[in-house]
Every structure is written in structure tokens, then in C-alpha cells.
Amino acid sequence: MRKVLYVYKCAECGKRGEQHLDGDSHDGETSTCSACGASVTLEWDGGVVLETPQTIAAEAIARARECK
């Protein structure tokens, strides 16, 4: 199954964290802040995780070409 990026903002310490989970059904689930351990709510970040910076660069180039 594809990995999906979820983000959260910790109400306790203000950390903006991210987690990679299988599938896109974890939106709104409770998780744990990696910095302080408080409960946080996951938010789907809207995209499939890109594995490497090279992949991100390649996609950015592809998008730029599509815009022209």
C-alpha cells in the first residue's frame, strides 16, 4: 500500500510534525507528538509521499512544463 503523508501541530509544544502512514484513511486520527509525547490530531497532507529529493525535483520540473 502507498505511504501517505500526514501532518500535525502539537498544541502542547507547538511542534509541526509529520508521519507517514499506509493509506489515506488516517485523517483525524490521534497520534503522539514526537517532541513532547502529547496527543495530536493527524491531518492528511493531500499527497502521496515522495521518496527522495530527486523525485520532488523531477515532479516540480514536470509541473513547470505542464504550466507552459
Binding site for Zn ion (CB under 5 A): 10, 12-13, 15, 33, 35-36, 38
Nearer to Zn ion among residue 15 and residue 26 (C-beta): 15
What is the secondary structure of 1-55 as a DSSP string? --EEEEEEE-TTT--EEEEEEESS--TT-EEE-TTT--EEE-EEEEEEPP-SHHH
Nearer to Zn ion among residue 3 and residue 9 (C-beta): 9
Question: What minimum distance in Å lies between the beta carbon of 30 and Zn ion?
Answer: 13
Question: What minimum distance in Å lies between the beta carbon of 57 and Zn ion?
Answer: 31
